[in-house]
Structure 1
Amino acid sequence: MTTEVDRKNSSADPLTPDFEADAAAEKHQTLNITTIPGSNDEEFTANSQYGVLAAEAMTTVWSKRDLIIAFVLLWLIQAVNYMQSTATAAFTPFVTSAFAAHSLTATTSVVSSVIAGVTSLGVAKVMDIWGRPQAFTVMLVLMEIGLIMMAKCENVQTYAAAQVFYTVGYNGLSFTSTVFIADMSQLKNRAFAIAYLSSPSVITPWIGGYLSQSMLDHVGFRWGYGIWAFVSLVPTIPLLFIYTYNYRKAKSSGVAPRRESGPATFQSLYYYAVEFDLIGIILFAGGVALFLLPFNLYSFQTLGWRSPMIICMLVFGLVTLVVFAIWERWFAPKQYMPFSTLTDRTVLGACCLSGILFVAFYIWYSFFYSFLLVVDNLDVTKATYVVNVNSCLGSFAALLVGAYVRWNGRFKKSVLFVGVPGLVLSIALMIAFRNPGHVGLIIMCIVFYALASSIVTIGDEMAVLAACTHAHIATVIAMLSVFASIGGAIGSSIATAIWTGVFPVRLAMYLPAENQADVLTIYADISTQLSFPVGSAAREAINHAYADSQRYMLIAGACIQALGIVAVFFWRDLNVKDFKQVKGTVF
């Protein structure tokens, strides 16, 4: 017997994927798991892998109290992680003070970010094959190792390794938490649940900075890292206990999925290599990493983009991604996800929108903080407040968007006609307010941007989640994350290219004769820029150069953001009220 995603209006769109056919196509590839009826006379998602069925078994037997406690703990985990991230950023200058000039420091930061960006692909398969709590535990251990190593590091090599462990673990925890939320919520409520998970960012930016400064003033960064390593365990251990307890409860009651004991060692390794689609993951993760690294490392090369190493990495990255597509389509014994899902127009459109969103954002945002400090003459605290308006208001507005999706059931039109145009408008308006004296109007634009981005980000996640079965939730979220990483890298690179190509040229054009000898120093050092009195000829020239650079960044960001309309246009107009993906006691 099978249970497919119910869709009342599937006949209205000939391009709607046949989930039952996908499940049937995978039947010979899945674990030998006993399918047992669950609550409400339903069955577990047909032909799913062990981790998916274990999650469904857990929600079948746990109580409403356990569900509420799990939601509270996930909120606390996100709150702790957000504050911890703020602290890590604040501690970094103190950790690296002894070896700040060492080139490995910056390079490792780039490499760790790229590794974290593609790790979600593997984590998703771990969650599907071995189980949700198992993947969560691995990510928690990696993050704890990173925090402890950063607390004890005495040289750049230790700090470099710590960055990799911490970044992978931190991003992995965030990713697994999102999958937990998807497992615990009906599709019609999932937009609100996802917004709920990100809601700690309404308050954590204000608390995190204060706590970080207090730790630096009283105990130092080493004890600071140690404190966060301990605090991170406070909400995570109880959550793991709830998952473990309820899985054992499901197992003892005969509801939990069972699989036969593994065969011989070589056969077992081959079996899991096929289940993980190991070759596919290596090809895709390797291709993405090779494609992303040049956008971050080209500035360290003497020849820049003309460097043979940079060119080779780009070419081999693109070729590897093409090989991945060929492998998945014709040769993979078990695809990373059904090829029909991978090429579904809603999934592809949502992934493209995610990439476009991050490209546009990082183009105009990369130098925005410096712009506020120099052009608008804000101090660090006030500039931070302006920047935090986006995350705080956006997280709050996302709750309202989630409630709207719960009531209306649809999200495409709001993204297409309100969200994306709102982003384009808010970015374009800042072009007119890039000169000194318009801080209030800039904040107005940030408010518009936050409201529009809440619609777009929630709609984007709902698009991929509504276009697949419960069996592939983790993998489609991972794909969305990878496209966001690619977009962020490209956007940062474009912003840097505009900055290096415009700012020094305009600076030399506008600076008075007596400051011409200091062009390179002023260009390279924001402290030097701020040292000139407000209203002086040199400061006005610096402001003018900033305004010109920001103008090109904003124009580029607005134009690229407009491409999101095309991506959303290809989505199906899905009604989340027509779907049933999860079972048991869920939100």
Structure 2
Amino acid sequence: MSEATLQHAHSKVMVDTDSTSSEPVPTQAGVKNVEAIKTAFGKVDFWVMYIGLLLVAYISSLDGQSFWTLEPFITSSFSAHSMLTVLPIINQIINAVSKFPIVKLADTFGRMEAYIFSLVCYIVGYITMCLVTNYSGFAGASVLYSIGTSGIYMMQQLIIADTTTLANRGFLSSLPDFPFIINAWVGPIYAVAFLPDNWRWTMGIMIILMPVVSIMVIGGLWHAEHKAKKVGKVRPAIRWNKNFLMELVMGMDLVGVLLLAGAWSLILFPLLRATSYDDGWRSGSVIAMIVSGVVLHILLIFWEKYFATYPIVPIRMIQNRTVLGGLLSVFFIFMSWFLYNSYLTSYLYLTRGIDFDKAQWITNGWMFASVGSSILLGLVMKFHKRYLIWAFIGLAINMIGNGLMVNFRGPENAAVEIVFSQILAGLGAGMITCATQVGAQAAVPHQDVGIVTGIYLSIAAIGGAIGSAIAGSMWTNMMPNQLTSHGVPADALSEILGDVTFARESLAEYPGISDAYTYVTKRINIVSLCVLIPIFGCLLAMKNLRLPDDKVAAGAPSTAKDANGEDEIRV
């Protein structure tokens, strides 16, 4: 495609995807400015920014690992240990719904502005969490903190997508997850050093460290933008005139953002909390929230199709089979993982006599393997220039690992066999997520890269939430009957169900508890394995796009045929 075509007067692109129609895709000011800024990047700007991104990734990972280690002690310091599950639920919901407004902010105003907004939310949230004197205030402040952490991670992925070729995307987009391999071990040790009374110091340290390492990211973006402004390539994102408010509402698609956030919150909250209601899934509150969430989804589709100028979820994206296949693949992968992982630590603690810290290391095996295989596959895709075959190989490996987990659940199996199956499943999952994220990004124009990345990461969170909900429901419904059938009397049932430590201490008196745990977790594992089957169809729907070395995110990719007659991304 010629240079003149790229300089279309209205900066609109035609995308030849697998959707039902090819329609002009309007490019927002923030995206246009990113394309201009990218041309102004020097080597120094690039390396400064990427070193900053790696440092931010490390600090974010250390913060995350230490925070969730401290969380039980934090709730206890407020005399609110019974509220231990509240913060994880808040985090899951905010993590799923906050990425969309952050993406729209980045597309409307720019990447630097969206990153600064996320950083401010992070800092203000942590400062407030340090100052509050009750748990309700702490939980409220954690909303800002969760928006900040989710936004910072989202912007890392988006900046990488803006500044990398499709061939390099898989490797570089996996790097923000690499520090987990280190901090899964370092984080808890670091956190424990501040216990029991000085946990606020961990937040104070992060309030200082995160802005310091972010200076390199913000500085790299600002310097490149400054150079682009000098040659007139960057224009104001929003015009400050009488139409400012309307431009802001339509550019950010605030109506779509509110509908989407409301719909997902109303569905996620009851999924995560249904078992806490007296009537469980039959509770009127649970049913009302889920129905309301479905109604809001219908309204969202209507708004996005007929009224939104820059839709938060473009209909063309839903019609794109490569994008849809990638989104559904990550949905099922995370649903499967959260299904079997939800009670794995408790299972290891009770049936194998493994202490909680060592059991947590075993459950982390999936993440270690997933991060490692994602990074390695990114390097492989750089040279192979294809993604789809690796997703199929990853799925086969993941299913073998899950199948072995079902077989290795018996008391006669050694713990090392569970570790092996965890690592195998993680290796496959990392390959699938790396390949399908790059594939989904490759199938859309630059205007939609941020949106598709945000949807991809949010869909993963929703899949995990649904997986946790299914596991919780199976556990709640099956475990009482299994304990009773294995000799646990009714008067001891409640305490054994509610306290895994007490259940372990009761093994000498009621050895059947171990058999009950094995039976239920094996059934959860079987469901987890079955959830992987639809991914075959999802991957078959995706086009085997080529990932060139010289094609970057900035620009309008379209599908063409390469020398071998196969689909290739061209600018």
State whether TM-score is above 0.5.
yes
Match of 2:178 in 1: 199
Q: Does 1:222 align with 2:200?
A: yes
Tell me if structure 2 keeps the 8 A contact 1:469–1:581.
Answer: no
Deviations 1:130-168 (A, max 9, x none): 010111111111111222222222112211112111111
Tell me if structure 1 keeps the 8 A contact 2:18–2:322.
Answer: no
Match of 1:240 in 2: 218
Match of 1:324 in 2: 300
Offset at residue 564 of structure 1 (A): 1.0
Q: Does 1:3 align with 2:11?
A: no
Match of 2:227 among 237, 249, 265: 249
Offset at residue 239 of structure 1 (A): 1.6
Secondary structure of 2:532's aligned partner: helix
Q: What is the alpha-carbon distance in structure 1 between the residues aligned to residue 50 and residue 426 of structure 2?
A: 25
Residues 318, 578 of structure 1: alpha-carbon distance in 2 compared, 3 angstrom cutoff: farther
Count matched residues.
Answer: 545
Match of 2:155 in 1: 176
Q: What is the alpha-carbon distance in structure 2 between the residues aligned to residue 527 and residue 108 of structure 1?
A: 22
- Larger deviation: 248-257 or 191-200? 248-257
Secondary structure of 1:256's aligned partner: coil
Match of 1:289 in 2: 265
Match of 2:497 among 494, 502, 523: 523
Match of 2:252 among 255, 276, 279: 276
Q: Does 1:420 align with 2:399?
A: no
Q: Does 1:358 align with 2:334?
A: yes
Match of 1:67 among 43, 46, 50: 46
Residues 68, 485 of structure 1: alpha-carbon distance in 2 compared, 3 angstrom cutoff: same
Q: Does 1:547 align with 2:523?
A: no
Q: What is the alpha-carbon distance in structure 1 between the residues aligned to residue 84 and residue 250 of structure 2?
A: 37
Q: Does 1:147 align with 2:129?
A: no
Q: What is the alpha-carbon distance in structure 1 between the residues aligned to residue 527 and residue 238 of structure 2?
A: 56
Secondary structure of 1:255's aligned partner: coil
Deviations 1:44-89 (A, max 9, x none): xxxx222222222222122112212221211111111111011111
Match of 1:167 among 140, 146, 152: 146
Offset at residue 391 of structure 1 (A): 1.7
Letter in 1 for 2:493: V
Match of 1:508 among 478, 484, 487: 484
Tell me if structure 1 keeps the 8 A contact 2:42–2:224.
Answer: no
Deviations 1:166-199 (A, max 9, x none): 1111111111111011112111110111122221
Residues 396, 347 of structure 1: alpha-carbon distance in 2 compared, 3 angstrom cutoff: same
Deviations 1:390-428 (A, max 9, x none): 222321222210011111111112212x11122222112
Offset at residue 98 of structure 1 (A): 4.2
Q: How does 1:430-579 map to 2 (within 5 A)?
A: 430-436=405-411, 437-511=413-487, 517-532=491-506, 536=508, 538=510, 540-577=511-548
Tell me if structure 1 keeps the 8 A contact 2:96–2:459.
Answer: no
Letter in 1 for 2:340: W
Offset at residue 233 of structure 1 (A): 2.0
Secondary structure of 2:113's aligned partner: helix
Deviations 1:456-510 (A, max 9, x none): 1101211211111112111111111221222122111100011111112111111
Deviations 1:349-383 (A, max 9, x none): 11111211121111111001111111111122321
Tell me if structure 2 keeps the 8 A contact 1:434–1:551.
Answer: yes
- Larger deviation: 559-568 or 254-263? 254-263
- Larger deviation: 309-318 or 49-58? 49-58
Letter in 1 for 2:500: I
Q: What is the alpha-carbon distance in structure 1 between the residues aligned to residue 506 and residue 371 of structure 2?
A: 37
Match of 1:37 in 2: none
Tell me if structure 2 keeps the 8 A contact 1:58–1:250.
Answer: yes
Q: What is the alpha-carbon distance in structure 2 between the residues aligned to residue 322 and residue 121 of structure 1?
A: 18
Q: What is the alpha-carbon distance in structure 2 between the residues aligned to residue 510 and residue 434 of structure 1?
A: 18
Q: What is the alpha-carbon distance in structure 1 between the residues aligned to residue 486 and residue 7 of structure 2?
A: 65
Q: What is the alpha-carbon distance in structure 2 between the residues aligned to residue 343 and residue 470 of structure 1?
A: 17
Secondary structure of 1:572's aligned partner: coil
Offset at residue 3 of structure 1 (A): 2.4
Residues 560, 583 of structure 1: alpha-carbon distance in 2 compared, 3 angstrom cutoff: closer
Match of 2:137 in 1: 158
Residues 196, 482 of structure 1: alpha-carbon distance in 2 compared, 3 angstrom cutoff: closer
Q: Does 1:400 align with 2:394?
A: no
Secondary structure of 1:215's aligned partner: coil
Match of 2:209 among 227, 231, 235: 231
Match of 1:380 among 329, 350, 356: 356
Task: Give the ranges of 4+ consecutive aligned residues of structure 1 lying more than 6 Å apart after TM superposition.
Answer: 102-105
Tell me if structure 1 keeps the 8 A contact 2:275–2:472.
Answer: no
Letter in 2 for 1:250: A
- Larger deviation: 352-361 or 255-264? 255-264
Secondary structure of 1:576's aligned partner: coil
Q: How does 1:301-320 map to 2 (within 5 A)?
A: 301-320=277-296
Residues 102, 193 of structure 1: alpha-carbon distance in 2 compared, 3 angstrom cutoff: closer
Secondary structure of 1:434's aligned partner: coil
Q: What is the alpha-carbon distance in structure 2 between the residues aligned to residue 149 and residue 204 of structure 1?
A: 25
Structure 1 vs Structure 2 CA RMSD: 2.4
Q: What is the alpha-carbon distance in structure 1 between the residues aligned to residue 150 and residue 399 of structure 2?
A: 28
User: Normalized against structure 2, the TM-score is what?
Assistant: 0.90
Q: What is the alpha-carbon distance in structure 1 between the residues aligned to residue 269 and residue 5 of structure 2?
A: 44
Residues 260, 386 of structure 1: alpha-carbon distance in 2 compared, 3 angstrom cutoff: closer
Match of 2:11 in 1: none
Match of 2:559 in 1: none
Q: What is the alpha-carbon distance in structure 2 between the residues aligned to residue 496 and residue 163 of structure 1?
A: 24
Structure 2: runs of 5 or more not aligned: 9-14, 556-571
Structure 1: runs of 5 or more not aligned: 6-12, 27-47
Letter in 2 for 1:16: D
Q: What is the alpha-carbon distance in structure 2 between the residues aligned to residue 583 and residue 315 of structure 1?
A: 40
Secondary structure of 1:70's aligned partner: helix
Residues 150, 331 of structure 1: alpha-carbon distance in 2 compared, 3 angstrom cutoff: closer
Q: Does 1:345 align with 2:348?
A: no
Tell me if structure 1 keeps the 8 A contact 2:388–2:435.
Answer: yes
User: Normalized against structure 1, the TM-score is what?
Assistant: 0.88
Offset at residue 339 of structure 1 (A): 2.5
Offset at residue 99 of structure 1 (A): 4.1
